[in-house]
Chain A
Amino acid sequence: MSTPAAIGNPALRDPHATRRLAAWAAALAIAWPMLSLSEFKPWALFGSGNLAVIGGFLAGFFPPDGSPAFLALLFKATLETLAMATAGTALALLIGAPLGFVTTRALSISRIGPGPGRVQAGVVRQAARWLLMVLRAIPEIVWALLFVRALGLGPASGVLALAITYGGMLGKVYAEILESADTRPARALLEGGSGRLAALCYGLLPNTAQELASYTVYRWECAVRASVVMGFVGAGGLGQLMDQSMKMLNGGEASSILLVFLALVLLADLLSSALRRLLA
């Protein structure tokens, strides 16, 4: 482990070595009980009969259903899912961007110095952080169940559910992206008496636009997937179609739907890299 020279000379000993070792040991000590608590036994997959069951289930998926009647249904459901994910993400952006702007410490004027109004600013930041936490703590599926009861079956409840949960996630991550970038340009502007919004646009956004855009597109991709789960509770789109196909044990239809998902994720990926190129 350590060389004789290091033992002999205390100046050459890494003062952080013990702490690091302890951190690794703690991580292991915490992770191991988690694995047993979650009943993680992958070998059960290969137990007697289990593989046959999985195989039979998967065999039902081939070939994918390509009948014109189903494709028409699929097309309509895809549009509905896309609309739900896009509208949901756009609303989430409207919730998350202002809250992220309020929450981030990178744009704090009162921390310069430190100056006046530090306590109030801290309270506002903490309140916004708690609001973001509440928004994202409740899973979108729960919101969807709630809104389906209020608004009836259909994508509208999915849109609202996505907007609330994803607004909370976007706000948190936006604030953290802004803090992890080089904040000196923004700080220099604030020290020169500029406003927060101007400092954001001149000092932080030029460096973080790529990250912010790619996280937002990734969230849109997640929204596409989440809309499926919400479809199961009646929020429309591909999920509802998937629910029906699974209930009728129609594997062909299910695999067609999965292929559409693959295409949508691919689309999100292309969109993300195009945006990154544009903002580079």
Chain B
Amino acid sequence: MSFALDAVGVIHPNGQRALAGVTLSARDGERIAVIGPSGAGKTTLLRVLGAALRPTEGEVQVLDAKPWQLPAAALKKLRARIGTVHQSPPIAPRLRVVTAVLAGRLGEWSTLRALGSLFHPSDIAGAHEALARLGLEERLFERCDRLSGGQLQRVGIARVLYQRPALLLADEPVSALDPTLADAAIGQLVAQSESTGATLIASLHAVDLALRWFPRIVGMRGGGVMFDLTADQVTPEMLDALYASEGGVARLQPQPAGAAMEPAFHRPDCP
């Protein structure tokens, strides 16, 4: 079992409810896409899975451990086995790309090695290999504040590829990439999951990417799981219901949300 959530609910300190009664589990090596409108609780779900947020209600089990019952040292070790691609890459702008990628293994390295690596990168070849998978190997020694938003996002992905976690969480990992790059980047995350046996959970706004690369699709809305199906069971009607506007924001185009995503269903390469 890679993770198991049982009736998990999260209420933020400001009183806002982000998750309600989420029960979800995954086997080792499974690949799951989480889709749903903004504010559905996708990021919160991933933070709970990453042992970065303690839920208000329910039980969490990640990589055969209950993170919130572990002592501090064991929790730290558990976190080192979980890798997260963040929505906006949290990388200090003055770091060099090589250092930003190598930071993926800080949980594994001794403090001495971590500090030494700031003076001379301790695994240049490893960082190069991870960056090459995303077509960024030429930027190895450049500073992160010289990169574009899309390049920085790929550095964030390279960091997690280098980390080689057992549970790979990706929160909107390709939001700043063009469709071709986005497809390649998701492909690399999937390849990583296949080669290392890591479980991959990615939240995505691009439904076509989700359906193409992920065998299992979880639809979230209003802090709860709306459906949890294999990719071929997901119908346009379900997507319409998932993304239906609640009348909060006025819509400019009075066409159903599914219409814009429809082409994804007729792709020849779609399973």
Contact = CB atoms under 8 A, between A and B. Distances in A.
* Interface of A, helix, strand, loop or mixed by DSSP: helix
Contacts of A206: 92-95
Interface stretch (B16-24, B78-86, B186-194): B78-86
Contact of A191 (B50, B68, B70, B104): B50
A113 B107 contact: no
Interface of A: 109-110, 112-117, 182, 184-185, 187-189, 191-195, 197-199, 201-204, 206-207, 209
Contacts, number: 97
B76 interface: yes
Interface in B55-82: 67-68, 70-72, 75-82
B133 interface: no
Given A114-B54, A202-B114, A207 B92 contact: yes
B111 A198 contact: yes
A264 to B, nearest CB: 30
A197 B114 contact: yes
Q: Which 3 A-B pairs have the closest CB atoms?
A: A193-B107, A193-B80, A194-B106
Contacts of B111: 195, 197-198
Nearest to B104: A192
A201 B114 contact: yes
A201 B81 CA distance: 21
14 contacts: A113-B51, A115-B72, A116-B71, A185-B92, A188-B84, A189-B103, A191-B50, A192-B80, A193-B77, A198-B111, A201-B115, A202-B95, A206-B93, A209-B94
Nearest to B50: A191
Given A115-B68, A116-B70, A198-B109, A192 B115 contact: no
Contact of B115 (A112, A188, A197): A197
A117 B73 CA distance: 10
A203 B50 contact: no
A195 B76 CA distance: 8
Contact of A203 (B72, B77, B92): B92
B90 interface: yes
A209 B90 CA distance: 18
Contacts of B86: 188
Interface in B150-194: 163
A115 B53 CA distance: 9
B259 interface: no
Contacts of B83: 192
B43 interface: no
Interface residues of B, number: 39
B84 A192 contact: yes
A184 B95 contact: no
A98 B54 CA distance: 30
B250 to A, nearest CB: 17
Contacts of B71: 116
B238 interface: no
Contacts of B108: 193
Contacts of A109: 72, 76
A241 to B, nearest CB: 43
Contacts of B78: 193
- Which interface residue of A116, A189, A199, A206 has the most chain B CB atoms within 10 A? A206
B94 A207 contact: yes
B99 interface: yes
B90 A185 contact: yes
Given A192-B104, A195-B111, A202-B114, 18 more contacts: A109-B72, A115-B54, A116-B70, A182-B92, A192-B79, A192-B82, A193-B77, A193-B80, A193-B82, A194-B106, A194-B107, A194-B114, A197-B111, A197-B115, A198-B106, A202-B99, A207-B94, A209-B94
A116 B163 CA distance: 25
A202 B106 contact: yes
Contact of B91 (A113, A185, A193, A199): A185
Nearest to B78: A193
Nearest to B165: A192
Contacts of B99: 202
B52 A202 contact: no
A187 B94 CA distance: 17
A185 B84 CA distance: 12
